[in-house]
């Protein structure tokens, strides 16, 4: 099942929260950035986990760069109750979509 952490216009500092459930052992996360044709896009998303919803521990950092679009992703072992994405930076006029999947999916540009 795919859950979107971000899907629309964002700015640095935006945070989203998604409940995982304790039975999920592995997740894959992909972040993609899209901008105007021929324009450089960039963004950094930190994926964090928590068992309380209050104390967050970084799991992975996704760095997105490209012209018009770019993507980054990874796979993490997890027993976290909660997972969130936190946008550290995003270039002007760039939209970030960040999704996680508990069964895994391919990622790349």
Tell me, yes or no, whether 106 lies in a domain. Answer: no
Instruction: Report the range of poorest mean pLDDT among 7-21, 36-50, 66-80.
Output: 7-21
Tell me, yes or no, whether 107 lies in a domain. Answer: no
pTM above 0.85, yes or no: no
How many domains, the chain? 1
Tell me, yes or no, whether 24 lies in a domain. Answer: yes
pLDDT surpasses 50 at 28: yes
pLDDT surpasses 50 at 91: yes
Distance between CA atoms of 71 and 65, rounded to whole angstroms? 7
% of the chain at pLDDT higher than 90: 9
pLDDT tens digits for range 13-27: 777 766 666 656 778
pLDDT score at 49: 85
CATH number, domain of 80, equals: 2.60.120.200
Tell me, yes or no, whether 51 lies in a domain. Answer: yes
Tell me, yes or no, whether 18 lies in a domain. Answer: yes
pLDDT score at 17: 67
- Residue span of the structural domain in which 50 resides: 2-101
pLDDT score at 109: 31
pLDDT tens digits for range 44-64: 999 888 888 888 999 899 999
Tell me, yes or no, whether 73 lies in a domain. Answer: yes
Tell me, yes or no, whether 54 lies in a domain. Answer: yes
3-state secondary structure the chain: CEEEEEEEECCCCCEEEEECCCCCCEEEEEEEEECCCCCEEEEEEEEEEECCCCCCEEEEEEEEEEECEEEEEEEEECCCCEEEEEEEEECCCCEEEEEEECCCCCCCC
Please provide the size of the chain in residues. Answer: 109
């Amino acid at each position: 099942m795919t859950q979107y952490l971000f899907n629309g216009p964002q700015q640095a500092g935006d945070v989203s929260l998604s409940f995982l459930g304790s039975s999920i052992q592995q997740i894959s996360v992909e972040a993609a950035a899209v901008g105007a044709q021929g324009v450089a896009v960039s963004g950094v998303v930190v994926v964090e986990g928590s068992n309380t919803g209050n104390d967050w521990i970084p799991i992975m950092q996704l760095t997105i760069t490209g012209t018009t679009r770019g993507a980054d992703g990874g796979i993490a072992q997890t027993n976290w109750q909660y997972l969130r994405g936190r946008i550290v930076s995003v270039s002007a006029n760039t939209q970030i979509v960040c999704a996680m999947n508990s069964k895994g999916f391919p990622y790349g540009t």
